Amino acid sequence: MPLYRFSLVMSVMTLLLYNIPFFRFVVSHSELPAFRLALFTLSLALIMVALNFLVCYLLVFLTRYVGRTIVALSHVLNATCVYFVVVYNTLMDGSMMGNVFNTRYSEASGFFSAPLFLCMFFLGIVPAAYVLLQKIDYGKWKTFGVAAGTSLGVSLLLVLLNFNQFLWIGQYDTELGGLLMPWSYTINTCRIAAQHHQANAEEIILPEASFRNDDKEAVVLVIGESARRDNFSLYGYEKNTNPRLSQMSDVMPLMARSCATYTTAGVKCILEYADKSQLYEILPNYLFRNGADVSWRTSNWGEPPVHVDEYLSRGDLAKIYADEDEHYDGMLFAGVKERIEQSHKNKVLIVIHTSTSHGPRYDQQYPAEFEVFKPVCRSVEEGRDNIEGLVNAYDNSVVYTDFLLSQLIDTLRTMDDWKTSMLFVSDHGESLGENGLFMHGVPLSIAPKEQYEIPFLVWTSDSLRSLKHDNAEIDQHYVFHTVLGLLSVDSPVYDADKDIFDF
């Protein structure tokens, strides 16, 4: 059998034997009308066939029996995964692959059953045997070039034709990625390995630091998600999205830009002392190692490895503060005052990594009472055609942010024994339909300003401190040096020029 035909058979088999749950999910979750849904599903099937064909062809052409062994193995793994997807409704996503690699034999053996082995035999081992025993004519480089070029061209064209489904795919990326065989477990295994590598990566330790005094000083650093400056009325937005903060004359809005348009890079930039490609000790780790009390609270992800004693997800906090609603970011702000007052240290940093304006379903990020601007989009489909509804939902998430920050400041104000400060900085901005763009992630060099112009809000109880930079646009590294200043830290890496305060 010529290799191109073999690869096509493999690709179609992969589609039919292992990807039915993927297409079942697409059909049941799409809101497209029947005809457009049929076209979209067909496009996805063709893209899948073309790309799997390309990968199979490449592997086997370039590495012969090694490639055939990998393809054979993928059938066995696909069959096993599809069994768990169908029987247990699992997704082969990152957390599931993490479980797989952390499971002992005794736990895994509980899943062994006759149906599992039958599924593995007929859907896995039989196709694998076929792959290994089939006689293949590997063909010439020219055929290889034509086959690779055609499949790549077809996939690209279909991706472009379905570009308007980008938002929908973004909404269900975890589910779709977790059902797509063999890429679900392949890519998620690579991600687990990369995370493991990153978590164990040696961060470059910064020089020792000390505290200049014993004053009780606390900083709450709130990291925003996809908050863009344009939609904060503090920066001149015509809709009143900051009804509470705008009443506080001591809240200082600074002009700032993010150094990236995606979460991991934006958060790294907020926490590191300078623009570095290598991993240097980040702010919470640095302060914790030098004797400060540091707590990390999060409903988000993607930060560099945090090495502090207290790392709390929204779920962890729900167990401590049962009164708050676990579904919203208000949870992250529960009990901050008590947490600071009960500290055994005089220097406290609390980092709150929120997800309050995370798209594309902005309407799901805030409690009902914050739905100030109406009507709002209730689905991704609607959001693309109804920009006004999308922006309303986004603006409501800003109103909720405004509420959370103003409440935090009001709480900190009551702490007479402490000098307290609050910084709010977003990881990056967000596109809301301008030039047909949504969400974020466009490379910074060509990104529209909506994706990097961010709010940077500061409040401090210390009336002696005065702002140094009031008009110039600052970057996210100012956070590191300002926090060091606020906590009276003496450090060789402290850069007074990047402290927003004079004092």
Backbone torsion region of residue 483, taken as left when φ is above 0, otherwise alpha when ψ lies between -120 and 50, otherwise beta: alpha
Residue closer to Zn ion, measured from CB, 181 or 432 = 432
Count of other CB atoms within 10 angstroms of residue 117: 13
Which helix (H) or strand (E) segment holds residue 454: the answer is strand 453-460
Site string for Zn ion, 382-421 (x = CB under 5 A): ----------------------------------------
CB of 165 to Zn ion, least distance (A): 22
CB of 263 to Zn ion, least distance (A): 3
42 SS3 class = helix
Task: Pull the structure tokens for residue 325.
Answer: 């609603």
Task: Pull the structure tokens for residue 61.
Answer: 């052409």
CB of 68 to Zn ion, least distance (A): 42
Q: For residue 257, which of 493, 444, 502 has the smallest C-alpha distance?
A: 444
231 SS3 class = helix
Tokens 């693309």 found at: 384
Q: For residue 253, which of 125, 92, 426, 94 has the smallest C-alpha distance?
A: 426
Residue closer to Zn ion, measured from CB, 151 or 261 = 261
CB distance 263 to 275 below 8 Å: no
CB of 439 to Zn ion, least distance (A): 9
CB of 359 to Zn ion, least distance (A): 9
Instruction: Report 171-200 residues binding Zn ion (CB under 5 A).
Output: none
SS (H, E, C) 265-322: HHHHHHHCCCCCCCCECCHHHHHHHCCCEEEEEECCCCCCCCCCCEEEEHHHHHHHCC
Residue closer to Zn ion, measured from CB, 395 or 430 = 430
Contact status: 357 vs Zn ion (CB under 5 A): no
Instruction: Report 208-237 residues binding Zn ion (CB under 5 A).
Output: 225
Residue closer to Zn ion, measured from CB, 71 or 223 = 223
Stretch that binds Zn ion, among 158-166, 262-270, 387-395, 489-497 (CB under 5 A): 262-270
Residue closer to Zn ion, measured from CB, 225 or 395 = 225
CB of 397 to Zn ion, least distance (A): 13
Which runs of consecutive H residues, i.e. helices, occur in 307-386?
Answer: 314-320, 336-341, 380-385
Stretch that binds Zn ion, among 43-51, 207-215, 275-283, 425-433 (CB under 5 A): 425-433
CB of 260 to Zn ion, least distance (A): 9
71 HSE (CA, 13 A, CB side): 31
Cα separation, 52 vs 10, in Å, equals: 8
CB of 227 to Zn ion, least distance (A): 9
Residue closer to Zn ion, measured from CB, 211 or 262 = 262
Stretch that binds Zn ion, among 103-111, 363-371, 423-431, 482-490 (CB under 5 A): 423-431
218 SS3 class = strand
Contact status: 272 vs Zn ion (CB under 5 A): no
141-161 vs 34-63: helix axis angle to the nearest 10?
160
Residue closer to Zn ion, measured from CB, 7 or 299 = 299
Tokens 């947490």 found at: 339
Residue closer to Zn ion, measured from CB, 178 or 359 = 359
Work out the burial of residue 352: count CB atoms within 10 Å of its CB; fewer than 13 is exposed, 13-18 middle, 19 or more buried.
buried
User: Torsion angle of alpha carbons 80, 81, 86, 88, nearest 10°?
Assistant: 100
Judged by CB under 5 A, how many residues of this single chain contact Zn ion? 3
Contact status: 427 vs Zn ion (CB under 5 A): yes
Residue closer to Zn ion, measured from CB, 37 or 265 = 265
CB of 225 to Zn ion, least distance (A): 5
CB distance 203 to 280 below 8 Å: yes
Residue closer to Zn ion, measured from CB, 263 or 397 = 263
Cα separation, 496 vs 484, in Å, equals: 10
Any idea what DSSP says for residue 465? -
In angstroms, the Cα distances linking 238 to 235, 243, 306, 395, 458 are 9, 12, 39, 11, 22
Cα separation, 463 vs 450, in Å, equals: 33
Residue closer to Zn ion, measured from CB, 228 or 481 = 228
Site string for Zn ion, 117-156 (x = CB under 5 A): ----------------------------------------
CB of 302 to Zn ion, least distance (A): 7
CB of 222 to Zn ion, least distance (A): 14
Of 7, 52, 241, 263, the one binding Zn ion (CB under 5 A) is: 263
Please give the residue whose beta carbon sits closest to Zn ion in the complex.
Answer: 263
Stretch that binds Zn ion, among 120-128, 257-265, 400-408, 443-451 (CB under 5 A): 257-265
Contact status: 450 vs Zn ion (CB under 5 A): no
CB of 150 to Zn ion, least distance (A): 37
CB of 456 to Zn ion, least distance (A): 15
Residue closer to Zn ion, measured from CB, 72 or 393 = 393
Residue closer to Zn ion, measured from CB, 364 or 466 = 364
Stretch that binds Zn ion, among 169-177, 396-404, 422-430, 477-485 (CB under 5 A): 422-430
Which helix (H) or strand (E) segment holds residue 180: the answer is none
Task: Pull the structure tokens for residue 374.
Answer: 């109406």
CB distance 439 to 225 below 8 Å: no
Residues that bind Zn ion (CB under 5 A): 225, 263, 427
